[in-house]
């Protein structure tokens, strides 16, 4: 299981270069399932596709997930699942309602690389309740348990302005807490049990 977790992949050159190095594959050959994390009103995935293509991915290798037809995206031949930024609560609710949260877990445990950006990073963690400080809970989510493939939670887009939130989470001692600036990436590999932040 390999997780690549960021605040701004494909939106920050430094973070993106780190991710591309860790993918360690010919970008033009990578098959990627793109799961856009929407905001309300629901947005499309056009800008995310454009960003991927601009960095060298081939559009024909980008499969765009549709929450309304989740079953069509099971058992695909893919290398990467990329869950974008957006509203964390909306994204998690849609994944759970479609049942695709469980499919993501299956994919990742079977060797597909998980790539998260901001909300996509939060969604793979233990819990997203603290994200209410940064995202509006537009959908009235009450179950804040996330996919749980990463042992901890995140403060994405970390800066001095978010230090108070980080300090509060540390004091609560409910979860391991990790910060991610816009230029940082966390790599976790379950095979080696190694976590690297840089």
pTM for the predicted model, two decimal places: 0.95
DSSP 127: B
20-46 b/e (C-beta count within 10 Å ≥ 16 → b): bebbeeeeeebbbbbbbbbbeeeeebe
- Beta-carbon-side half-sphere exposure of residue 78 (alpha carbons within 13 Å): 26
Q: Would you say 85 and 119 are in contact if contact means Cβ atoms under 8 Å apart?
A: yes
Q: Which residue has the tokens 């979860």?
A: 175
CATH for 2-197, options being 3.30.70.260, 3.30.70.3420, 3.40.50.880, 3.40.50.360: 3.40.50.880
Strand, coil or helix: 163: helix
d(CA 101, CA 187): 21
The residue extents of the domains of the chain are 2-197
Q: What is the pLDDT along the chain (198 residues), one digit of tens a residue?
A: 999 999 999 999 999 999 999 999 999 999 999 999 876 555 557 788 999 999 999 999 999 999 999 999 999 999 999 999 999 999 999 999 999 999 999 999 999 999 999 999 999 999 999 999 899 998 999 999 999 999 999 999 999 999 999 999 999 999 999 999 999 999 999 888 899 999
């Amino acid at each position: 299981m390999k997780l690549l977790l960021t605040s701004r992949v494909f939106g920050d050159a430094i973070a993106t270069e780190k991710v591309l190095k860790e993918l360690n594959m010919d970008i033009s050959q990578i098959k990627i399932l793109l799961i856009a994390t929407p905001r309300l009103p629901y947005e499309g995935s056009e800008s995310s596709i454009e960003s991927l293509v601009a960095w060298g991915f081939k559009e024909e290798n980008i499969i765009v997930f549709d929450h309304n037809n989740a079953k069509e995206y099971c058992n695909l031949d893919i290398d990467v699942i990329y869950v974008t930024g957006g509203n964390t609560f909306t994204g998690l609710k849609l994944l759970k309602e479609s049942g695709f949260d469980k499919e993501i877990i299956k994919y990742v445990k079977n060797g597909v690389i998980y790539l998260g950006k901001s909300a996509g990073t939060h969604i793979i963690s233990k819990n997203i309740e603290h994200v209410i400080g940064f995202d509006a809970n537009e959908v009235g989510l009450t179950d804040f348990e996330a996919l749980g493939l990463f042992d901890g939670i995140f403060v994405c887009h970390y800066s001095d302005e978010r230090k108070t939130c980080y300090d509060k989470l540390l004091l609560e001692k409910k979860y391991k807490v990790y910060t991610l600036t816009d230029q940082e990436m966390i790599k976790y590999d379950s095979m080696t049990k190694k976590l690297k932040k840089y």
